[in-house]
Structure formats: C-alpha cells, structure tokens
Amino acid sequence: MKRPIWSDVKARTLTYAAMLMVFSCGSVTASNLTGLPSDPKQQAADKPAAPSANASDVASMDSIVAALYDVISGPAGKKRDWDRMRSLFVSYGRLIPVGRRANGEMGNRAMTVDDYIAGSAKFLEDTGFFEREIARRTERFGNIAHLFSTYESRHKADDSKPFARGINSIQLMNDGKRWWIVTVFWQGESTDNPLPEKYLK
C-alpha cells in the first residue's frame, strides 16, 4: 500500500505519504496518532470488497509494488485513480505511518485505504507528487512476503533531489490467484535516523 506512500511522519503524511504506492495522510499529525482497531472483526468489516484489479498490476510482487508507487504519483492537477489503489489491497488493508508524537514519544496511526485517500488526495492532486522505489529487500515464505522498499519522493518528476526518503515495509499475500497488499508500514528518514547504506542498494 503508501509526500507519503510515501522526513518524519508529519511531513510524510502531509505531503503522500504513502503511497505508493506510498502512501501520507493530511489528517495525520504527531498529536493524533492511533493504533489498529482492537476487534479483528471490525478490521475485516470496515471496508467493502475491493474493485477489480488490472491483472497486470497484481500478477507479481514487482508489478503490485510498481502499481502502488505509480497510482499515487503524478503532476499537480492530475486526478489519481483511487479505485486502482483500492484494488491493490485486501479489504482490511492498512497504511500505517510511524513518527514522533508532540511529546517526543514514537507512535503510529493506522489508516484504511479510504482514510488515506480522504486525507491525501487533495494534497497530492493539487501539489504534485512523485514517489519511486530505489532499493528493495524481500523475504518470502509460501504465500506471504515482506518487502523493505526504500523510497524517495519529489514534487516534480524531474526534480534533481528528493525532498524525502524512507522505507515502506510492505506485507503481501498471494491467494493462489493474485498478490494483495495487506499492510504498508512506513517511516521517513530524518536527521537523527538516516537511511543505512544496506537499504540503499
């Protein structure tokens, strides 16, 4: 799932950051981070079934990650295909930014895909946002996979330098027919938490 997508949680969510993709949420601030609903039945029931996905988006781990980043990216004035984003996630999927609260403690906020869209769409479409994967580490067992996807974010595709970088921790599931995003759990790079070299290659 995803100035998201996806340098701290406030900057990340007020700008994408996801998603991609990556996915930010404009309504997320350091003072109102929260966790997942405690009742698993509530998590599974809080969102209708996803729209049908493009087969090419969900055929492989590479394609679904590429779709995640692509769907949140675009120039200012371009409407994003939010049904495409919904189609990538399981119905109970979550996007969870991690960052520092106002009191200095680390925290997180869990969002449904629709929460993310409601908080991020206007900013992404008004301002322009491009996020891309620059490195990846993958672990897979059977039908589950965990990807550490290092990202960088720009306001314009041809900006010489990104304004933010970080890691999207993406959990995937294959149901025998296609890949699904279960969770996008991310943290942006900051001066006191730079990206290690091992996650840049």
Burial 2-35, CB ≥16 within 10 A → b, else e:
bbbbbbbbbbbbbbbbbbbbbbbbbebbbeebee
All structural domains of the chain with their residue ranges = 9-199
- Residue that wins the pLDDT comparison between 2 and 166: 166
pLDDT greater than 60 at residue 41: no
pLDDT computed for residue 167 by the predictor? 98
Classify strands 106-108 and 130-141 as parallel, antiparallel or unpaired. unpaired
How far is 69 from 54, CA to CA, in rounded Å?
Answer: 15
Average confidence score pLDDT of the chain: 83
| CATH assignment, 9-199 | 3.10.450.50
Q: What residues form DSSP beta bridges with 129? A: 74
Q: Does the pLDDT at position 128 exceed 80?
A: yes
Query: Contacts from 140-147 at CB under 8 Å and sequence distance 24+?
Result: 140/61, 143/173, 143/174, 143/175, 143/176, 144/171, 144/172, 144/173, 144/174, 145/61, 145/171, 145/172, 145/173, 145/174, 146/170, 146/171, 146/172, 147/61, 147/65, 147/171, 147/172
Write down the pLDDT at residue 29: 31
pLDDT tens profile 74-125: 999 999 999 999 999 999 999 999 998 889 899 999 999 999 999 999 999 9
CA distance 88 to 109: 20
Q: What is the pLDDT of residues 47-84, one digit of tens each?
A: 556 799 999 999 999 999 999 999 999 999 999 999 99
**Residue 169's pLDDT is what?**
98
Percentage, residues of the chain above pLDDT 70: 76
